[in-house]
Structure 1
C-alpha cells in the first residue's frame, strides 16, 4: 500500500480529522534555472509495464545487454547502447483444465510477473504473483526451471555461490539450487500484524546473502546453508496502534564495499559493517525506497518525499530538498554529479549532489516504481507504462 493511501485512510477514520490534516496533495513544481541538460539516447517499448498492485519491476544489465520484463510475462534482451531488441520471449502459465475438451480448447495464460529482473552470468531470475520463481537462460530466454514458493514474490531474486535467493511476501527467504531450482533451505521471519505492500530484495556479497524484512530487522545468511551469520535491528516499532508500529524495510539495502546502508519506514537509516553486522551509525529517517550512496553521502527519498543526504561516515544530515514534497518519488540514484529521482507525473529530476539544489528536469512517459539503473555515464529508466529509455546528462 502506498504511503499516502495508508495515511489518508487513517485520517478518514478519525472523527476529528480537520481539512488541513487531509491536505496531502503533491507540491506543485516550480521553475528554476537549469544547469544541466538531459538527452534521450534511446527509448523502446518493452511491453505493458506494471499494473496497479504496486509492482516494482527493474531492468538489469550484464555485459552489453540490458534486460527488462513486463507484467504479462514478456521478457526482453536489448543492446544497452542503442536499444535494439536482441530477443524476446513470452512466459506462459500451465493450462488449468479438468477434462479432455477443456484442455483442447483452453490456451495458456501469460505469467503475471511481479518481480525481476535478477541476473547472473548464466541466468535471468523473475518472480510471479502466484509465487513462482522462474529461471531463464540469459543468452536466449529459454526456460531453465520454475519453482513454486509459498507466496507472491515482490522484489527481484539474486544469485551467488550456486544458490538463487528470493523473498516472498509472507516474510520468507528461500535458497534454491541455481542449476535445478530445488529448495536447499528456507528462513521464515516473524511478520507484524500490519505491513506495507512490498518486500526488500536480497543483496549478495560473495557467499553471503543480506536480507531485510517487515519486522525492521536485517540478517546475513551463508548462501550455501542458510545459516545466520549475524542479525541486527534497524528500527524498533513504537506507538499504540498497529499503524504507528509499522517499520517495514521495503527498499533494497545499499552495499558499498563493506558498508551496508539500510532504511526503514517510520524508523531509521543505519550504516553497518556488512561483514560483521557491526552498527556504525544510525539516524531517525523514514522511507519505503532503498538508499543510494557515493563516497561521501547517503541519499534517501524520506518522509513526505523530502530528498535527504546524510554523511556516509557520521550519519549527520548534510542537506534536505523539499521541492518535491508528496510527489511519490522513486528511489534516488547517484548519477555523476547528480542525484536522480522520478515523480508521480513522470518527471525526471536531477539534484546537485553537493547542495541538493534542483539542477535539471525532463518529462518522461510515466511514473517509475522500480529503481533507476546507472551504467557508465548512462541512466536507464523503466517506467510504469513499459517504456525503457537511456539518458545522458551534460552541463549547460
Structure 2
C-alpha cells in the first residue's frame, strides 16, 4: 500500500469520529483524499475545538526580547533554529541560511541557496547543512557561509539534518536513514526502514551523541544506530500502532528526541512518552501520551505538550506528573522548553507563554510577530530562541 501523509489535526479528528459512530470508514476515506490532495476539508464554519482564550494573570516574571532577526517564511514546512559554537543557525523556505551571534543578535553571515528549502538547519558549529526540493542537500562552512558540498537524498526530506562527530545524518520520507561525511559529503552508509502506509506529515528528528544516531521514526519507533556503520544498537517502541483503521494506527514519534547524559526521552502521536537508557534502550519509565511536537528535558524534568494543548512537567527520574496546565487547550503549541525559572511554550498566534517550573501557573507572556510558533525552540543556556512561521527568529531572556 502506498504511503500517504496526514496532519495531526486531521488524524485526531477522524479518530474521534471513528469511535463515535458508523461514519468512521467514510471519514477515513475522505481523510486519505485530503492527505493526498492538500484540500482544507476540516475548515468548517464552527470549530468544534476552539482555542482557549488568553488567560489574564498578574505577571510575576520579567521577560524581554533580546533580539530578533528575519530569516524567511517557512511555507508548508517546519524550520527550527539550532545552537552551536555560540551562534544560532537558521534557515527559511526561500533558501536563506544565516548565522547569528547568540548573545548580540548580530548576523555574522547570510547565504542563499539556489533552491527552495524543505528542512534545516543542522550544524555542529563547523558544518551547516540544509535540505531542499527533491531531496537536494547543501552544506556550508560555518565560519564563512561559503558552500562546501552538495549531495542527493533518496527522496524528499522534512526533518532537519543532524550534524556531529564527523557525520551528517538525514532521514528522507521513504524512511531511509543516510549518513554523509561532514567534510566531503561522501555517503558513508544507508539504512532502509519500512514505511507505514499512513504517516503524519511532520518532522521526526535525529540527534547525535555517544557515537550513536538516535532516530525518531514513523510507526512509533526510536532507533539507535552506530555512527561508524549504521548498525542497530537498540530499538524501542515509543508508540505501538493500535486501532482498526490506518488513521487510528498512526503512532509516529514526534519532534526531536531529547538527549541527556544517561538517558534519551521521546514522545509519539497517539502513543506514549518515556525515557530510555542511553546505552541499551531499557525503559526507565513510559506513560500513555499523544503529542505531535516532541519533548525537552533538563536535569530534573521532562516537558511536553499534548495534541490538545495540555502542558505537562514530568519527573525525569520516575515519570511522575509534577503539574499540568490545561489553560492553553487547542492553541496548537510548540514543544515546551525550560527558560530560567519558567517553562516557555509558543502558540498559533505567535505568543510565548511562560509557566512556573514549580506549579505550572502563568508567570509571563510575550508576543512575537503574530504567526504560529510550531518549530521546536532551542536553549543557549542564557536565553531561549524561537522561530515563527513567518520567519522571525527571536531570542528571549528571563530574569
Gaps of 5+ in 2: 1-5, 25-43
> Does the 8 A contact of 2:102 with 2:380 survive in 1?
no
Query: Rg larger in 1 or in 2?
Result: 1
| CA gap 1:11/1:299 in 2 versus in 1, 3 angstroms | closer
Superposed CA deviations along residues 200-245 of structure 1, whole A, max 9, x for unmatched, are: 2211113111112101111111111111111111121111011111
Q: Secondary structure at 1:253's aligned position in 2?
A: strand
Aligned to 1:204: 208
Task: Give 3-state SS (helix, strand or coil) of 1:367's partner.
Answer: coil
Q: Secondary structure at the match of 2:11?
A: helix
Q: 1:257 aligns with which of 242, 261, 265?
A: 261
* 2:375 counterpart (367, 370, 373): 370
Answer yes or no: is 1:91 the counterpart of 2:116: no
Kindly indicate whether the alpha-carbon contact (under 8 Å) linking 2:123 and 2:164 is maintained by their aligned counterparts in 1: no
> Is the 2:78–2:203 contact (alpha carbons within 8 Å) kept by the matching residues of 1?
no
Which deviates more from structure 2 when the two are superposed, residues 80-89 or residues 200-209? 80-89
CA contact (8 A) 1:368 1:383 kept: yes
Instruction: Report how many residues are paired.
Output: 371
CA distance in 2, matches of 1:72, 1:161: 29
Who is 1:280 aligned against? 284
Structure 1: tracts of 5 or more residues without a match: 93-110
Distance 1:235 1:201 in 2: 15
Q: Any idea what the Cα deviations from partners look like across 1:24-72, whole Å, max 9, x if unmatched?
A: 11111121122112212222222x2200x2x221112233332211101
* Contact kept in structure 2, 1:168 and 1:199, CA below 8 Å: no
Question: Does residue 1:49 correspond to 2:53, yes or no?
Answer: no
Give the 5 Å matches for 1:163-178: 163-178=167-182
CA contact 2:83–2:379 (8 Å) conserved in 1: no
1:73 to 80, 84, 95: 95
Q: Does 1:294 align with 2:295?
A: no
What is aligned with 1:63? 85
Distance 2:168 2:381 in 1: 27
Match of 1:389 in 2: 394
TM-score for the superposition, normalised by structure 2: 0.88
Query: Could you say what secondary structure the match of 2:254 adopts?
Result: coil
- What is the alpha-carbon distance in structure 2 between the residues aligned to residue 309 and residue 84 of structure 1? 34
Contact 1:4/1:24 (CA < 8 Å) preserved in 2?
no
Q: Within 2, Cα distance between the matches of 1:163 and 1:364?
A: 35
- The Cα of 1:199 is off from its aligned counterpart by 2.8
**Aligned-residue offset at 1:9:** 5.5
In structure 2, how many angstroms separate the alpha carbons of the residues matched to 1:72 and 1:27? 33
Partner of 1:224: 228
**Structure 1 residues 16, 215: closer, same or farther in 2, change over 3 A?**
closer
Q: Displacement of 1:12 after TM fit?
A: 7.7
CA distance in 1, matches of 2:191, 2:345: 33
- The alignment status of 1:341 with 2:345, answered yes or no, reads yes
CA positional deviation for 1:5: 3.3
Partner of 2:204, secondary structure, is coil
Counterpart residue number, 1:32? 57
Question: How far 1:10 sits from its partner (Å)?
Answer: 6.0
Does the aligned pair in 1 maintain the 2:274–2:287 contact within 8 Å? yes
Q: 2:48 maps to what in 1?
A: 23
Distance 1:388 1:270 in 2: 30
Distance 1:271 1:332, change over 3 A: same
For the pair 1:154 / 2:179, whether they are aligned, the reply is: no
Q: Give the secondary structure class of the aligned counterpart of 1:203.
A: strand
Separation in structure 2 between the aligned mates of residue 296 and residue 179 of structure 1, nearest angstrom: 37
Cα deviation, residue 194, structure 1: 0.8
**RMSD of aligned Cα (Å):** 2.0
> Structure 1 residues 217 and 15 mapped into 2: Cα distance closer, same or farther (>3 Å)?
closer
Q: Deviations over 1:222-279 (max 9, x none)?
A: 1111111111111211110111111001211101111110110111111100111111
Residues 1:185 and 2:207 aligned together:
no
